[in-house]
Structure 1
Amino acid sequence: MNVSLKRIQAIIVKDYKEFSRNYAISVMILFPLLFAFMYRSDGAEQATMYAFVINFSLAMLTSFVQACLIAEEKERNTLRSLMMTPASMLDVLIGKSALVFIISAAVLALSTYIFGYDTSNMMVLVAAIGISILLYTAVGTICGLYSKTLIEASLSIFPVLIIFTMGPFALVFEEDYPFVKVLRYLPSSQLSELVAALEIGAATNELVMPLVIISIWAIVLTVISFVLYKKRLMDR
């Protein structure tokens, strides 16, 4: 499947204009910064609170913006028109994901700076956050493709926000309710474990499993988003 950089760039520019015009969507970049400022701490709970800020930001910014941008195009019926252009499936999905990835990466980097979090293995943290951005972008794509309107897309993100953000905190009940242990395999829980491991200076080999699990989530959800887009393409 051919990939055209010019078409991808055109889609990015188009999405940026829509993003900057729609203040209900663009205002989301402020929430991660606000939460980073509110919950920054130098105490023993720093890793826990930092993981919460990042997980919340990924759901509330990355998934929400991606879902709304796609749903807005569906509501205007411009996504169908985009599907009928010479742009390939990869052109469209990469183009519509690139802007959200760039915005998320920039905002999360600034949030990390505001929070004051630092680690000796920053490369691992950057890799984990980068993979997580891809994962949550795929989640947003899926929610956007399933939604018919912008309002539906906004509502569809709330289950993602609740499950992925609060999942790690529910693990405190795993001794009383064994079924809660399944939440340990959520990407948000794995990211929290990774941040905690980085906090105590864990060896690199101890950081591999969380990265692998997050990567599996990212691959599976990306494939699902591709399949769903192709299904929408066939239904036009």
Structure 2
Amino acid sequence: MTFSIKRSIAILQKDYKDVSKNLFVGSSVFMPLIMAALYGRMGVETINEQYLVFNMTFCLVAAFVQCSLIAEEKEKNTLRGLMLSPASTLEILTGKSLLSFIGTILVIAFAAILVEYKPENILVISVAIALSAVFYIGLGTVLGLVTKSVMEASVVILPFMGIFSFGSYLTVLADKYPVLKAAEYMPNAQLIHLANDVQMGASLLDVWFQLAVILAWIAVIYVIVVVVYRKRMTD
């Protein structure tokens, strides 16, 4: 079956209508912007603090909105119909991810303006942010598939929000607790390392390792997505 953009766009339009009617989910989009505005007023300039806003955006928009969209489909018993529709797995997952991806990129762009973030190489940063968004959308997809309602999704996302928003700060304790060195390889920590290197003049080739780690996280999370999705199809 060939990939149909029209089917994915139709799913995107449906998701947009669903989110516009759900104030609880829609309001999560504005929380990173409020935080960015406060940081901007405080004159925050360090990369680590600026990327705290961006990583929170990934959790609240890419992961939570995606998780809520899928959980709502399950709550309304419409996900089964979507799975049994003529749309392929790729078309469904693409369509279900488009709104979260577009929303994430837009919120990060506005947040960057509010915190006055000016990367030295916007191309490298754009690639890294786009890849990070893809990972968090995959995370949200998995969580949405294993939850039964939007309310449950809002609870399940909390520990992941803590890990992927503030987990990079665990690295400061790595000397005392060596096991915490593993936190350096989390996607949020790698994104911060990449951003710091870019501010010091690093090019795309110079940050290949950080991008490779993020890509590895993407590969793992989407293998899990496919496994869980197919299991839901056969349940």
What TM-score comes out, normalization by structure 2 length? 0.95
Report percent identity of matched pairs. 38
Structure 2 gaps, min length 5: none
User: How many angstroms apart in 1 are the aligned matches of 2:152 and 2:77?
Assistant: 15
> For structure 1, which segment, 220-229 or 57-66, has the greater mean C-alpha deviation from structure 2 after superposition?
220-229
User: How many angstroms apart in 2 are the aligned matches of 1:216 and 1:2?
Assistant: 27
User: How many angstroms apart in 1 are the aligned matches of 2:226 and 2:113?
Assistant: 34
Residue equivalent to 2:116: 116
User: How many angstroms apart in 2 are the aligned matches of 1:204 and 1:227?
Assistant: 33
User: How many angstroms apart in 1 are the aligned matches of 2:39 and 2:168?
Assistant: 17
User: How many angstroms apart in 2 are the aligned matches of 1:118 and 1:27?
Assistant: 27
Residue 207 of structure 1 aligns to a residue whose secondary structure is: helix
Q: Map Cα deviations across residues 10-46 of structure 1 (whole Å, 9 max, x no partner).
A: 1111111001110101111111111111123656x52
- How much does 1:201 deviate? 2.2
- Indicate the RMSD between aligned Cα atoms, in angstroms: 1.3
Residue equivalent to 1:129: 129
Q: Does 1:73 align with 2:73?
A: yes
Q: Map Cα deviations across residues 93-142 of structure 1 (whole Å, 9 max, x no partner).
A: 00000111111111111111111111221101000000000000000000
Q: Map Cα deviations across residues 49-84 of structure 1 (whole Å, 9 max, x no partner).
A: 111111111011210000001001101100011111
Residue equivalent to 1:213: 213
Residue equivalent to 1:107: 107
User: How many angstroms apart in 2 are the aligned matches of 1:128 and 1:46?
Assistant: 18
Structure 1 gaps, min length 5: none
What TM-score comes out, normalization by structure 1 length? 0.95
User: How many angstroms apart in 2 are the aligned matches of 1:56 and 1:114?
Assistant: 15
Contact persistence 2:3–2:88 (CA under 8 A):
yes
User: How many angstroms apart in 1 are the aligned matches of 2:204 and 2:133?
Assistant: 22
Equivalent position amino acid for 2:78 in 1: T
Q: Across the two proteins, how many residue pairs are aligned to each other?
A: 234
Residue equivalent to 1:154: 154
User: How many angstroms apart in 2 are the aligned matches of 1:25 and 1:100?
Assistant: 11
User: How many angstroms apart in 1 are the aligned matches of 2:15 and 2:217?
Assistant: 26
Query: Moved runs in structure 1, 4+ residues, more than 2 A?
Result: 40-43, 199-206
Residue equivalent to 2:224: 224
- How much does 1:2 deviate? 2.6
Residue equivalent to 2:5: 5
Residue equivalent to 1:96: 96
Contact persistence 2:190–2:213 (CA under 8 A):
yes
Residue equivalent to 1:28: 28
Residue equivalent to 1:64: 64
Residue equivalent to 2:18: 18
User: How many angstroms apart in 2 are the aligned matches of 1:14 and 1:77?
Assistant: 15
User: How many angstroms apart in 2 are the aligned matches of 1:30 and 1:152?
Assistant: 21
User: How many angstroms apart in 1 are the aligned matches of 2:43 and 2:158?
Assistant: 30
Q: Does 1:172 align with 2:172?
A: yes
Q: Map Cα deviations across residues 156-180 of structure 1 (whole Å, 9 max, x no partner).
A: 1111101111111111100001000
Residue equivalent to 2:87: 87
203 and 91 in structure 1: CA distance in 2 versus 1, 3 angstrom threshold: closer
Q: How does 1:31-46 map to 2 (within 5 A)?
A: 31-40=31-40, 46=46
